[in-house]
């Protein structure tokens, strides 16, 4: 009997002959993939171009994709000039190259780049299911996946919600899951090539979302040291993964450094340091966490405790899959610790750790159901039938993800604003706006955005100091002929009402966007 109950599904109990109607045991991997697709497709693809509304972060990435596709510059372009390897982009080369290629193929669009992220999310689910099947069995793995899909969106953070947006979270999660999958292969077969492959996957993950390096690096180094010290793996296998990951990351950073002009390089360093101090390594110590963020943090802590406790009690007999399970738990625990005590506390920052925590929680579903069925009276056992449980999770997926999509009222404010810019504003006119999403849907290049330092100032005022915005921004610094106020500018109040009324006149309005012309 395996002492790791998740791996065997018996939770240290004798096998019960109780029939469970929903038997996944004989499903092959293709059937599992089909089932996952049928559950994922509506939640990820339905009204993909409409929901959610495109905002600042997606707009930044769309602008970078347009810049690379049209001008061949890996970065962004404004009236201040080109900014190669713009730190504000904060996603990796895989995403940007993909989105730039889609821009060349289909032109300005929302659906094409979002579709690429949705497909990546589907692959994430497939890799996660394959990984969990190696840690447990098909029934346990599928119920764990359903648990992740059924989790509600907390402050814009869930696998489904972020899997519908042009952001770096879903690709980074895919690379992390793929890295753990390859890591298990490396440890099971003592294979250096698989360990190197895992390092490359993790390297891609931390180039997609740089903050993940804060957690992945110490966890992988610690596990390599433990495996080598315990002689559970040869040192060459144990060390290959963290060394490859760091080599890949340093190589990418060195390449970007070499291809960036010195003046821009200095500006990028300042912006990167500002981002780290504002968002990643802060003195907030949990003060910025909302109720939803605390819920995420507590569940992450709890999901990691039991696997760690069980491993510490039986570590002398641990197999490769047990080492991987404790690695996942350590990753979740380290993410939770960094998220609570050091980061600014945005739930999106904990996304990868949150999804893996839900997978660890989901691995308990089937063993708990079996445990309860063996203790309930006979007449109550059908209520815990796996058919019923799967139906309950399917309903939860509908309520958490499909219902909000169905209730969403379509808005063409972005498209209408972009069309107005195309048809009414001369190409040579300078446009002042903080709405990056407008860049990618016009052929205007004379667009001036507030410098990234104003974004960090706004974040510090809102999250660190807890005081009203006071950005002291001069909207006339680029001598614009037009100014557009959208969701980001309205939220931060970056354009003063006095300057707007004295220097501009409103000429058009499209729900969330107001276009002004210089007097």
pLDDT of residue 24: 44
pLDDT at 88 over 90: no
Where on the phi/psi map is residue 286: left (φ > 0), alpha (ψ -120 to 50), or beta?
A: left
pLDDT of residue 97: 95
Strand-pair category, 482-485 with 431-433:
parallel
Q: Which of 311, 330, 151, 360 is nearest to 223 (CA)?
A: 330
Instruction: Decide: helix, strand or coil at residue 280.
Output: helix
User: Each residue of 465-503: pLDDT tens digit?
Assistant: 999 999 999 999 999 999 999 999 999 999 999 999 999
End-to-end CA distance of the chain: 81
Angle in degrees, 0-180, between the axes of helices 235-258 and 213-229, rounded to the nearest 10: 150
Do 445 and 497 form a contact (C-beta atoms < 8 A)?
no
pLDDT of residue 383: 66
Copy the structure tokens of residue 201: 């996957």
* Mean pLDDT of the chain, nearest integer: 89
From CA 188, how far away is CA 357, in angstroms rounded?
23
Model confidence at 173, pLDDT cuts 50, 70, 90, reads: very high
From CA 352, how far away is CA 262, in angstroms rounded?
34
From CA 351, how far away is CA 209, in angstroms rounded?
11
pLDDT at 21 over 60: no
Phi, psi torsion values for 76, nearest 5 degrees: -130, 165
Copy the structure tokens of residue 483: 């100014």
Mean pLDDT of all residues in 35-49? 84
Whether the upstream peptide bond of residue 45 has omega within 30° of 0, thus cis, is no
User: Each residue of 389-445: pLDDT tens digit?
Assistant: 777 887 888 889 999 999 998 788 899 999 999 999 999 999 999 999 998 899 899
pLDDT at 87 over 80: yes
From CA 128, how far away is CA 497, in angstroms rounded?
50
Instruction: Decide: helix, strand or coil at residue 372.
Output: helix
pLDDT of residue 36: 59
Phi, psi torsion values for 515, nearest 5 degrees: -105, 130
Q: Which of 319, 296, 320, 365 is nearest to 20 (CA)?
A: 365
Phi, psi torsion values for 495, nearest 5 degrees: -95, 115
């Amino acid at each position: 009997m395996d002492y790791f109950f998740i791996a065997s599904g018996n939770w240290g109990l004798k096998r019960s002959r109780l029939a469970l109607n929903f038997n996944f045991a004989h499903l092959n991997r293709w059937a599992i993939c089909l089932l996952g697709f049928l559950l994922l497709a509506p939640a990820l693809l339905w009204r993909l171009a409409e929901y959610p509304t495109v905002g600042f972060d997606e707009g930044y990435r769309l602008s970078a994709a347009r810049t690379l596709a049209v001008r061949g510059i890996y970065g962004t372009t404004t009236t201040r000039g080109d900014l190669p390897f713009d730190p504000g982009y904060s996603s990796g080369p895989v995403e940007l190259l993909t989105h730039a290629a889609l821009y060349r193929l289909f032109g300005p669009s929302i659906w094409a780049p979002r579709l690429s992220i949705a497909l990546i999310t589907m692959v994430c689910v497939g890799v996660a299911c394959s990984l969990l099947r190696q840690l447990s069995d098909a029934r346990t793995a599928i119920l764990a996946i359903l648990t992740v899909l059924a989790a509600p969106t907390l402050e814009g953070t869930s696998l489904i919600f972020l899997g519908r947006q042009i952001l770096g979270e879903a690709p980074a999660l895919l690379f992390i899951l793929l890295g753990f999958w390859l890591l298990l292969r490396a440890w099971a077969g003592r294979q250096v090539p698989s360990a190197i492959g895992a390092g490359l996957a993790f390297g891609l993950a931390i180039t997609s979302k740089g903050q993940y390096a804060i957690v992945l690096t110490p966890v992988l180094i610690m596990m390599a040291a433990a495996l080598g010290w315990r002689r559970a793996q040869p040192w060459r296998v144990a060390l290959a993964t963290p060394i490859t990951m760091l080599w890949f990351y340093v190589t990418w950073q060195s390449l970007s450094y070499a291809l960036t002009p010195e003046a821009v390089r200095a500006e990028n360093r300042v912006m990167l340091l500002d981002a780290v101090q504002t968002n990643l390594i802060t003195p907030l110590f949990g003060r910025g966490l909302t109720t939803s963020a605390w819920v995420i943090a507590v569940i992450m802590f709890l999901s990691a405790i039991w696997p760690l406790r069980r491993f510490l009690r039986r570590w002398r007999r641990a197999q490769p899959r047990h080492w991987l399970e404790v690695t996942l738990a350590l990753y979740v625990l380290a993410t939770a610790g960094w998220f609570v005590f050091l980061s600014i506390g945005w739930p999106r920052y904990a996304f990868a750790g949150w999804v893996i925590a839900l997978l660890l929680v989901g691995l308990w579903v089937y063993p708990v159901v079996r445990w309860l069925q063996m203790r309930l009276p006979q007449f109550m056992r059908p209520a815990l039938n796996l058919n019923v449980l799967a139906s309950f999770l399917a309903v939860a997926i509908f309520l958490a993800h499909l219902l909000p999509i169905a209730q969403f009222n379509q808005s063409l404010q972005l498209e209408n604003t972009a069309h107005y810019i195309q048809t009414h504003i001369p190409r040579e006119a300078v446009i002042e706006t903080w709405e990056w999403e407008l860049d990618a849907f016009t052929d205007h290049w004379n667009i001036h955005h507030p410098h990234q330092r104003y974004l960090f100032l706004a974040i510090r005022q809102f999250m660190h100091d807890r005081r009203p915005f006071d950005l002291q921004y001069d909207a006339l610094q680029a001598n614009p002929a037009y100014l557009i106020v959208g969701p980001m500018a309205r939220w931060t109040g970056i354009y003063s009402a006095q300057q707007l009324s004295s220097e501009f006149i409103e000429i058009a309005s499209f729900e969330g966007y107001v276009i002004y012309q210089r007097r």
